[in-house]
Amino acid sequence: MPQVKVLTEFFDVPDSHKIDVWEKHGGYQAIRKVLKSMTPDEVIEEVKRSKLRGLGGAGFPTGVKWGFVPKDSEKPKYLVVNADEGEPGTFKDRHVIMNIPHSLLEGMMIASYAIGAHVAYIYIRGEYVHPARRLEEAIAEAKAKGYLGKGIFGTDYDLEVYIHRGAGAYICGEETALLNSLEGKKGWPRLKPPFPATVGAFQSPTVVNNVETLSYVPHIIARGADWFASLSEGTERCGGTRIFSVSGHVKRPGVYEAPLHTTLREIVYDFAGGIRGDKKLKAVIPGGSSCPVLKADEIDVRMCFDDLAKAGTMAGSGGVIVMDEDTCMFDTLRNIIHFYAHESCGQCTPCRQGTGWLVRIFDRIAEGRGMPGDVDNILEIAQNIMGRTICPLGDAAAMPVISFVTKFREEFEYHVREGRCDLEDRKQRVAMAS
Amino acid sequence: MSVEFSEKALEQLRELLGHYPDRQAAVIPALHLAQEEFGYITQEVEDYVAKLLEIPATDVHQVFTFYTMFRDRPVGKYHIKVCESVACHIMGSTNVLDYLRKKLGIDVGQTTPDGRFTLTTVECLGACEMAPMMQVNDDFYGPLDEKKLDEILESLE
Ligand SMILES: Cc1cc2nc3c(=O)[nH]c(=O)nc-3n(C[C@H](O)[C@H](O)[C@H](O)COP(=O)(O)O)c2cc1C
Ligand code: SF4
Ligand code: FES
């Protein structure tokens, strides 16, 4: 299975982050074409036909989202780039920003033109100090050439791009929390509707898109929607490639770009080199820590949004976390639930209380004080969070719990019953036998 | 201590205010600036930022308390943040933390008596391919083991 590269191809080009190098490889031609010969509607249609889906987590068709922005609004419109990248297991946006910041900027120019925005923000997590600097440099380079600011590329279209640094809060990756944070407030998610397309940043129509999503846009315009859509074969509702972040017990953790018909097995074994120490695979989380886990025998699934949904999980942010046979599922899930409890903003009772109860039960079991009925209790608490919250973080906490406990139930029962990990016991048994 | 931005910081703030349609939006950038200027954020600093932005001090305080990167006390010359989220956890972040505790002789949340190192834990830093990893000031390091940690600590004078 070969890798098909659209974005990562440029990662190997020396100094690919510099504007001159980017232009030598065809950069800033797509935006020129757009400004010279396409109407905003034509751009939106092209992106729709490309079957580009949002790569930040929810997978919403990008062109369709842009089409929701009202044309007749008196208010200014905004494009906001989500560079918060906080979902455990996800790191591809960092690589995109460091290697090809101009692909993102050009995508932002095209998207802004399509929705009629003259100001665009990049909301980047505060810990990304170097990536934020890289973006600042790229913006300065583009400004110096007249590609940003008043009358870009010699047209009468104005566009300013500003960087807004976050300050440490996973929840600000959720788009409405992000907008509150951009406005200088606590990062509390908003009730939807209204959706950001009508009431977003500063009460104005806003599109929020992920870094990687926007970075594909210049390539789609330059090479055509049909070319992009056809990169993924036999996937009806999604096209192109995406960058998978692969971490955990593999030989070669890193970023791998591939079409969406690629299977999870190919990503783990062909791209990432298989399991470290040639151990057996136990489980994989396919799209960042909030996605339901898959067992070793469930990885012959294609990585397209629809097939992963059919398999009972999600494509999410493309963060593939690989666990070998020596991984304790109880301990791993305990870590995940601590994360979501810590990151819950506390607005909704089911999320705040539910994650808190789960933490206390998991900690008690870890201390060897499990009680009969704990496993069923855990499942019930998780099920009671599902669908009862303002934002999807509640579900994000519940889904891994339900999938881990259902698929590896015996391991959880063992921890409750015996007050220790059966892996330790198993290792001892092996040692005695040999 | 008198709390006042340097001329450079004031210049940066004026530039930042031009990025947004209202002044409150500049709170997070202004707190970042304040933390760079003063090292940490006291009540006085919060009040000063509120005055600069012409917004209520309670609005600044709410933001200050919500975000984990803002701190109310000084940190050491090197602020070590060990990632404890799932990808780092399954790759051995607990060992990294134990080793650093032992080697630095401090617990999580503490600073060495010579003021050189502060040790804290953080959630996923978006660098899981480097797991187990940590951030020291602006830089990411990983994958970490005891040897690598020794080398890194030695390289930081
Ligand atoms: C709790 C939570 C955290 C999220 N974190 C991120 C993130 O870090 N980066 C991101 O791009 N999207 C994140 N999302 C998804 C965004 O809400 C939004 O769907 C996305 O930015 C839209 O861009 P896209 O359509 O290009 O994917 C998160 C969603 C939730 C519910
Ligand atoms: S689901 Fe959780 S994180 Fe989301 S708004 Fe409710 S309490 Fe906050
Ligand atoms: S889990 Fe540690 S950097 Fe992502």
Domains (range + CATH), chain B: 7-66 (1.10.10), 78-155 (3.40.30.10)
For residue A60, which of A227, A223, A207 has the smallest C-alpha distance?
A: A207
Q: Is A251 on the interface with B (CB under 8 A)?
A: no
Residue of B nearest to A179 (CA): B25
pLDDT (tens digit, 9 = 90+) per residue, B45-90?
999 999 999 999 999 999 999 999 999 999 999 999 999 999 999 9
Which atom of ligand 3 is nearest the CA belonging to B84?
Answer: 2
User: Using CB atoms, which residue from A89, A126, A183 is nearest to B128?
Assistant: A89
pLDDT for B80-120, tens place per residue?
999 999 999 999 999 999 999 999 999 999 999 999 999 99
Is residue A291 within 8 angstroms of chain B, CB to CB?
A: no
Q: Which long-range contacts (CB under 8 A, 24 or more apart) does A34-38 make?
A: A34/A109, A34/A110, A34/A113, A34/A221, A35/A113, A35/A152, A35/A153, A35/A155, A35/A157, A36/A155, A38/A221
Helix and strand numbers (H, E) in chain A are 18, 9
**A253 contacts B138? CB cut-off 8 A:** no
Cα–Cα distance measured from residue B8 to residue A333, given in angstroms and rounded to the nearest whole number: 47
- CA–CA separation, A335 vs A158, rounded Å? 47
In this complex, the residue of A130, A247, A343 whose CB is nearest that of residue B131 is A247
Q: What is the per-residue DSSP string for A117-129?
A: -SEEEEEE-TT-H
ipTM (interface pTM): 0.98
* Distance in angstroms (rounded) separating the CA atoms of residues A108 and A223: 17
Calpha distance A77→A113 (Å, rounded): 10
Query: What per-residue string of b and e applies to A35-63 under the rule 16 or more CB within 10 Å gives b?
Result: beebebeebbbbbbbbbbbbbbbbbebbb
Indicate whether residue A328 lines ligand 2 (CB < 6 A): no
Q: Could you tell me if A182 lies within 8 Å of chain B, comparing CB atoms?
A: yes
Q: Is the CB of residue B93 less than 8 Å from the CB of residue B136?
A: no
Ligand 3: residues with CB < 6 A are A 88; B 83, 85-88, 124-125, 127-128, 131, 133
Q: CB of A56 within 8 A of CB of A209?
A: yes
> Using CB atoms within 10 A of its CB, is residue A215 exposed (0-12), middle (13-18) or buried (19+)?
buried
As a whole number of angstroms, the distance between CA A242 and CA A255 comes to 10
Which residue from B minimizes the CA distance to A186? B63
Peptide bond into A194 cis (omega under 30): yes
CA distance A398 to A180: 25
Q: Do B131 and A162 touch (CB under 8 A)?
A: no
pTM above 0.90, yes or no: yes
Region for A373 from its dihedrals, namely left if φ exceeds 0, alpha if ψ lies in -120 to 50, beta otherwise: left
CA of A287 to the centre of ligand 3 (A): 14
Q: What pLDDT score was predicted for residue A433?
A: 57
What number does the ligand 2 atom closest to the CA of A355 have? 2
| Ligand 2 touching residue A345 (CB < 6 A) | yes
> What is the CA(A173)–ligand 1 centre distance, in A?
5
Q: What is the DSSP string of A49-99?
A: HTT-B-TTTT--BHHHHHHTS-SS-SS--EEEEEE---STT--HHHHHHHH
For the segment A398-408, what is each residue's pLDDT rounded down to a tens digit? 999 999 999 99
pLDDT of residue A425: 74
Beta-bridge partner residues of A13: none
Q: What is the dihedral of CA B141, A249, A255, B78, to 10 degrees?
A: -10
**Degrees, nearest 5: CA angle A281-A284-A289:** 150
Which residue of chain B has the CA closest to A166? Answer: B28
- Residue B5: what residue type? F
Beta carbon of A347 within 6 Å of any ligand 2 atom: yes
Min distance B33 CA to chain A CA atoms (Å):
11
Q: Are A238 and A219 in contact (CB under 8 A)?
A: no
Cα separation of A66 and A205, whole Å? 10
**Contacting residues for A206 by C-beta, under 8 A, at least 6 apart:** A69, A77, A78, A79, A80, A179, A196, A197, A200
Instruction: Identify the segments of chain A with pLDDT beneath 50.
Output: none
The answer to whether B128 touches B113, Cβ cutoff 8 Å, is no
pLDDT computed for residue A307 by the predictor = 97
Question: What element of type H or E holds B62?
Answer: helix B57-66
- Does A203 reach chain B within 8 Å, measured CB to CB? no
B81 alpha carbon to ligand 3 midpoint, in Å?
11
Q: B61 to chain A, minimum CA–CA distance in Å? A: 10
DSSP code at position A346: S
Per-residue pLDDT, A2:
65
pLDDT for residue A305: 96
A153 by Cβ neighbours in 10 Å (0-12 / 13-18 / 19+) ranks as: middle
CA of B133 to the centre of ligand 2 (A): 28
Q: Which of B63, B124, B129 sits opposite A254 (nearest CB)?
A: B129
pLDDT at A4: 87
Whether B86 sits inside 8 A of A336 (CB atoms) is yes
d(CA B119, CA B109): 6
pLDDT of residue A399: 97
Annotate A372-403 with b (16+ C-beta within 10 A) or e (fewer).
eebbeebbebbeebbeebbbbbbbbbbbbbbb
- Give A321→chain B minimum CA distance, Å: 7
Q: How far apart (Å, rounded) are the C-alpha atoms in residues A242 and A272?
A: 15
Other beta carbons within 10 angstroms of residue B157's beta carbon come to 6
pLDDT number for residue A428: 67
| Strand partners of residue A177 | none
- Ligand 2 mean position to A345 CA, how many Å? 5
Contact present, A364 and A413 (Cβ < 8 Å):
no
Instruction: Say if A32 is an interface residue toward chain B (CB within 8 Å).
Output: no
Q: Is A327 on the interface with B (CB under 8 A)?
A: yes
Can you tell me the distance from the alpha carbon of A17 to that of A140, in angstroms, rounded to the nearest whole number? 12
In chain B, the residue whose alpha carbon lies closest to the alpha carbon of A133 is B138
For residue range A378-431, list pLDDT tens digits in order: 999 999 999 999 999 999 999 999 999 999 999 999 999 999 998 877 766 666
Q: Do A88 and B128 touch (CB under 8 A)?
A: yes
Nearest residue by C-alpha to atom 2 in ligand 1: A174
CA gap A75, A150 in Å, rounded: 19
Closest-CA residue of chain A to B142: A253
Residue B1 has pLDDT above 60, yes or no: no
Residue B124 has φ and ψ, to the nearest 5°, of -30, 125
**pLDDT (0 to 100) of residue B157:** 73
Nearest to A136 by CA among B77, B16, B100, B94: B16
